Chain A
């Protein structure tokens, strides 16, 4: 690989993730436990966490590619949420832990218990990782027992959620967290999810428009329909190239934020265009499109509080458009 080629993930790894998603696909299931088990058995859910921290190793590009492919398949697993929590644990010196860990916050810890309304993935969490801090994350505290409402709710993407109450005396010892790094990697992984699902929308819609016949011809014969397919192709192209360039620019928090902003914007385009081409069938829960577009909606807005106020050095100005991995590596 030349010094200018940017990795899109180890090809064998990518092939494996794709195969698992294809073989273990489940429609309309809030949690694909078989896929999650298979990925956990292969330690794929922790790819990118260094071996020194107890993870399987692998590059950030490998992680991004894994996240991308799972999102492309609309996999109903807590991949990114668990990864972020495990990453914060490792960075805080707490090591990774088996099972599912889900972040809560950042939140200011008052004197009373911490209540979270509709925490996504709580029903399948073995641990909650409370991130302390208001505008800036300052510490992480694991907790293994909390009060969960009996009812499972479902979020915008159909993912399982619960109202939880975390008693403050149950919080573990705090470990440090670097807010900047946390925001960067969160932006990057959300961008990867969005990019993957946008690609999923493009693939699905392209196939549908080729198969569906009306007026005696494939509906992709009509320029008015082609317009939407083209926008989907553009959305898929720009988000994918952005997320892998951002993964390579690990020092450059601006790149991760830019990738997030690009993915957020083109997710909107993809949702609209994919639904428009599909017509009524795309508006049903039964057809696969909803699994993708509901996730796009959720991932777009997830951790929005982190994106809303860029922290120092994170804003991309016009000057930074020329930001480059090699340049970043020299910083």
Chain B
């Protein structure tokens, strides 16, 4: 993958082809049936409910791991195709929690960096929606400064002994695996290695943390001198940092970074009165603009580039915009939404108010993203 040599303010504009539009319609038709309006609990973007059955159904439909080659359970589809599916899922607030991370970044990473055995073992089961991955990166003393991580792996024969703790690991309590970044050497960056760790093996404990909205998706993951075979190692020793960076364009530049409130915006848009109409139009227009940027990033990825800076720019803009959307929605609601309201819109609005600050924090804080963009602007 090459970095795209271009100007940060010049994202190549693009739109879907007729074939991509037909694919979008197929996905929409399937989801209309599988998730009938009122027939499921809506989620807010990627902080979504974990529903292993839904993930399995999507997998059976071929909508997870689509970019994988057919031999691994995919259909060789593109990043743009994945964006199309993501839009349809997130617009509906679909329960994508179980497979999202596996699909978004573990699949591509294992495809790029894994051994044939690893690809054979993990990729088909990611594509089928059977596996659920969590991201084992942050630690109590290593958040934005990820290279300061201390969880270590020491070689012992054919195994590694892993010890240390990860924190803020979303989904670890329901996941099958964690992709852990651990220290295998002294170099700040070249001493980090990734391991695919089975969370059901002995030696690892997952402790849920109660989030501000009462959910327990956030976790601590403790490795108590856990013995893992060397064939769990993803990529070469010391390559963890580089591999992780490669995932960033995918993780950060997508529509998931500005679609958290889409189900609420959609519902509000349908029933807002004349006084809210100008606000609704403005928010819709900016969503449309952000979509143009996300589409461009996906297209750039498909062209073999690694638009990491572009992704950082869009994530920072998108997540900030989500806060603005929430302000309009909450002003329009008036009064105090109840978290346990029977009306799902109200309950989701209450939840959104509480968890919104996490959108500008997770997956790279806006401060870190700004640092990345600023470096590019100054160069």
Contact = CB atoms under 8 A, between A and B. Distances in A.
A238 B370 contact: no
Contacts of A325: 15
Interface of A: 2-6, 8, 199, 202, 206, 210, 218, 220, 223, 226-227, 229-230, 233-234, 236-242, 244-245, 248-249, 255, 257-259, 261-262, 265, 310, 315-327, 330
Contact of B284 (A202, A249, A317, A326): A317
Given A4-B15, A202-B9, A258 B288 contact: yes
B285 A326 contact: no
Contacts of A326: 15-18, 21
Given A238-B290, A242-B292, A327-B21, A199 B15 contact: no
B53 interface: no
A248 B374 CA distance: 31
B242 interface: no
B374 A199 contact: no
Across the A-B interface, the 8 shortest Cβ-Cβ residue pairs: A236-B9, A226-B374, A261-B285, A258-B285, A318-B269, A6-B13, A244-B13, A241-B292
Given A233-B377, A236-B9, A318-B269, A242 B289 contact: yes
Contacts of B80: 4
B332 interface: no
B49 to A, nearest CB: 22
B280 interface: yes
A248 B282 CA distance: 21
B184 interface: no
B293 interface: yes
A2 B299 CA distance: 12
A237 B289 CA distance: 9
Contacts of B293: 237-238, 241
A287 B292 CA distance: 34
B12 interface: yes
Contacts of B56: none
B16 A241 contact: no
Contact of B18 (A3, A210, A310): A3
B134 interface: no
**Most B-side CB within 10 Å, residue of A227, A265, A318, A320:** A318
A244 B317 CA distance: 20
7 contacts: A210-B378, A229-B377, A230-B370, A238-B286, A258-B284, A316-B281, A318-B280
A227 B370 contact: yes
Interface string B31-62: 00000000000000000000000000000000
**Most A-side CB within 10 Å, residue of B16, B20, B262, B299:** B16
B277 interface: yes
B79 to A, nearest CB: 12
A170 to B, nearest CB: 39
Contacts of B378: 210, 218, 220, 226, 229
B289 A5 contact: no
B266 interface: yes
Interface string B262-304: 1001100110000001001111111111111100100100000
A255 B288 contact: yes
Nearest to B25: A327
B269 to A, nearest CB: 4
